[in-house]
Amino acid sequence: MRIGVDAGGTFTDFVVLDDNGSLTTFKVRSDPKSPSKVILAGLKQAAGAQRAEVIHGSTVATNALLERKGVRTAFVTTAGFEDLLEIARQNRAELYNLTPAPRRILIPRDLCFGVHERVYEDGTLARAPSRSELKKLAARLKRAGVRSIAICFLHSYRSPVNEQSAAKALDGCGAYLCASHEISPEFREYERASTTVVNAYVGPLMEAYLGELERARQFRIAIMQSNGGFLSARDARRQAVRTVLSGPAGGVIGALETARLSGFHRVLGFDMGGTSTDVSLADGAPRETTEASVDGLPIRIPMLDIHTVGAGGGSIARVDAGGLLRVGPESAGADPGPACYGTGTEATVTDAHVVLGRLEALLGGSMPVDAQRAAAAVDRIAERLRLDRHAAAAGILRVGNANMERAIRVVSVERGHDPRDFALVAFGGCGGLHACEIARELGIATVIVPEHAGALSALGMLMADAVRDYSQGVLGTRDIESAFVKLEQRARRESPDAAIERSADLRYRGQSYELNVPWSGGRATNLFHGEHAKVYGYSNPGREVEIVTLRVRARIRVSKPRPRRSRRRPGKPAIRRVWIDGSWRDLHVWKREQLGRMAQQGPGLVLDYGSTTLIPQDWRYFVDAGGNLTITYTRR
């Protein structure tokens, strides 16, 4: 038995693949105070007494980073560079803001320590750290009461010997310890240091969390990585930074794999959950980046290119001091949740849908919603805006849609892609309620809502391969083949059965950014010119190309479960009065299993266990041979 688990902000999703290849899904209300208890209870419900392999999308590292609730961490670097984390890059993210908020730094200055050592940029060892200095530093770290230590020396990606000496000397401090040559052995000292610090900051929390899960011996735990593959719990303990986009990465894989069943390979993923919306683009394969930033902190490891905005079903609506309606990024989360859940008091996106008749119950009818409580919450917004209840609820949804439209433009238009060339794959508990309206604004003609859309991220984890990434900065190195061989030898030692994939980060000499291309010897340069023209609109074949970083990926492919379509149960739709396109209308309300290949004309509602889909007028919808609900725009 294999189980995919996606720990979300409002619900934790479980997808169970049994020995016969059949899939079942269910949701459990999340508990931010004790996520492991919820997961263990869900696993027991899924597996009973059977042994199972679990692929888990964890939010432990993500939440600790966003909420700045990691452990007390020390930063050890080359003497004279103790201010590296605070100086950063001096980029101005808000160019016209005269009073920008100060950056939130993970490690205070009094916990940044310098060591007298030096490695030159070519890897030459100029000065080794003295034993006496490292011994004194170990004593200082113990007195400071740090629980974790991040080590990052200059040019350690070319020669790690000094970092290794420091790590050996500080190992007796009783703290979690990681060094940059193990986490991100690449040039650019600030990004390398930031990545190592993030790993140290969240690593002990991930270690404790995984230890609690693994004490349930019947489950073999693996963790979804930000790069779209999974790795063992043992590796996740040491490389916690690789899990900061763990859950959303599963959604990207699930969206692409399910869209392929319907013949679509160019897709925009639209994952709208309870607290946030994650958007991504896949043009035959998911797009990756090694220059991601999470809450202003650079993380230099391979990650799927996912853009997240604070707009979800639980996003709180408010009226600001200027009288304007705002939605998010604050969320009601799982506790207290939207007003309609029975405990919250503030109006949310979900409450707006309830007021407009689009939601009457959740989880296949097993979780009724409190329509009166939702109406009271929306009324407070309506009173401040001097609107009636339904106009205020519709306004909340329009503002939320605008936030999500901008996010989709970030991963498409701002990356040089026309969204009209893609299908929009909508999933998450709320994705189907907003997808068609957003697609219409962006000119997208096809929306796909997969089966099990409410738990697609968890399903995507079962479709992911086991992946380990290795990298080596080689700027100025001549013997590229030897460097590749060393990376591959390490990969084969740690993953003997894996297929090896080579790639490299290249740039034109003088540039300060790189592009990753598959490595094929001399052809890599030609691939780089073509990719540069595709991404930036031009190329310069006559200009010298530099090789900056080598990358090796060890991949163990996993057979992809093909979701079996639920047995069709034809029947007549129900009728519900719903506010849509500015007025109340009687809509056909279908259970998903009632639909077949015969297209229906919108408007309509389609209900599934974990999601609801709203189809406006001028859209046609049917369930295709791949089991996906396919919705197409008919007005031209």
Q: What is the CATH number of the domain that holds 509?
A: 3.30.1490
Q: Is position 545 within any domain?
A: yes
- Give tens-digit pLDDT for 13-66: 999 998 777 888 998 888 877 888 899 999 999 998 888 999 999 888 888 888
Give the chain's count of helices (H) and strands (E). Answer: 16, 36
> What secondary structure letter does DSSP report for 567?
P
Average pLDDT, the chain: 92
Overall number of domains in the chain: 4
Q: Name the token pair of 144.
A: 């400071």
Cα(536)–Cα(530) distance, rounded to whole angstroms?
10
Residue 323 three-state SS: coil
pLDDT average, residue stretch 468-497: 93
pLDDT given at position 383: 95
Same domain? 457 vs 580: yes
Q: Distances in Å between the alpha carbon of 55 and those of 158, 204, 235, 462?
A: 35, 20, 14, 7
pLDDT average, residue stretch 346-361: 94
**pLDDT range class, residue 521, cuts 50, 70, 90:** confident
* Domain-terminating residue out of 531, 556, 581: 556
pLDDT given at position 106: 95
pLDDT average, residue stretch 137-146: 96
pLDDT reading at 415 higher than 90: no
Same domain? 272 vs 366: yes
**Taking the CA of residue 460 as centre, how many other CA atoms within 13 Å lie in the half-sphere pointing to its CB?**
34
Q: Is position 37 within any domain?
A: yes
- Give tens-digit pLDDT for 569-595: 888 899 999 999 888 999 999 999 999
pLDDT given at position 81: 97
Cα(471)–Cα(485) distance, rounded to whole angstroms?
12
Instruction: Tell me which residue has tokens 């720990």.
Output: 7
Host domain of residue 78? 68-202
Q: Is position 583 within any domain?
A: yes
Written as one letter, the residue type at 488 is E
The β-bridge partners of 318 are: 326
- Lowest mean pLDDT segment, chosen from 254-258, 549-553, 563-567, 627-631: 563-567
Same domain? 218 vs 109: no
Instruction: Count CB atoms within 10 A of the CB of residue 20.
Output: 6
Same domain? 169 vs 196: yes
Same domain? 381 vs 458: yes
Q: Is the distance from CB of 269 to CB of 255 less than 8 angstroms? A: yes
pLDDT given at position 382: 95
- Give tens-digit pLDDT for 225-259: 999 999 999 999 999 999 998 889 999 999 999 99
Cα(256)–Cα(460) distance, rounded to whole angstroms?
9
Cα(549)–Cα(184) distance, rounded to whole angstroms?
11
Instruction: Count CB atoms within 10 A of the CB of residue 622.
Output: 15
Same domain? 169 vs 57: no
**Taking the CA of residue 494 as centre, how many other CA atoms within 13 Å lie in the half-sphere pointing to its CB?**
20
Same domain? 133 vs 213: no
Q: CA nearest 280: which of 415, 453, 469, 437?
A: 415
CATH of the domain at 144: 3.40.50
More confident site: 596 or 137 = 137
Same domain? 54 vs 132: no
Task: Please state the pTM of the whole predicted model.
Answer: 0.90
**pLDDT range class, residue 563, cuts 50, 70, 90:** low
Q: Is the distance from CB of 546 to CB of 554 less than 8 angstroms? A: no
Q: Is position 563 within any domain?
A: no
Q: Is position 562 within any domain?
A: no
Q: Is position 391 within any domain?
A: yes
Residue 571 three-state SS: coil
Residues with Cβ within 8 Å of residue 364, at least 6 apart in sequence:
607, 608, 609, 610
Same domain? 172 vs 56: no
pLDDT reading at 636 higher than 70: no
Q: Is the distance from CB of 82 to CB of 113 less than 8 angstroms? A: yes
Cα(335)–Cα(341) distance, rounded to whole angstroms?
10
Written as one letter, the residue type at 364 is G
Return left, alpha or beta for 133; rule: phi > 0 is left, psi -120 to 50 is alpha, else beta.
alpha
pLDDT given at position 29: 85
pLDDT reading at 565 higher than 70: no
Q: Is position 257 within any domain?
A: no
Cα(126)–Cα(169) distance, rounded to whole angstroms?
19
Residues with Cβ within 8 Å of residue 562, at least 6 apart in sequence:
21, 261
Q: What percent of the chain has pLDDT over 90?
A: 70
Q: Is position 585 within any domain?
A: yes
pLDDT given at position 276: 84
Same domain? 490 vs 505: yes
pLDDT average, residue stretch 276-283: 92
Same domain? 154 vs 216: no
Burial class (CB in 10 A: 0-12, 13-18, 19+), 104: exposed
pLDDT reading at 505 higher than 70: yes
CATH of the domain at 225: 3.30.420.40
Same domain? 50 vs 118: no
**pLDDT range class, residue 566, cuts 50, 70, 90:** low
Written as one letter, the residue type at 244 is V
**Taking the CA of residue 569 as centre, how many other CA atoms within 13 Å lie in the half-sphere pointing to its CB?**
6
Strands 515-518 and 277-283: unpaired
Helix (H) or strand (E) holding 168: helix 161-170
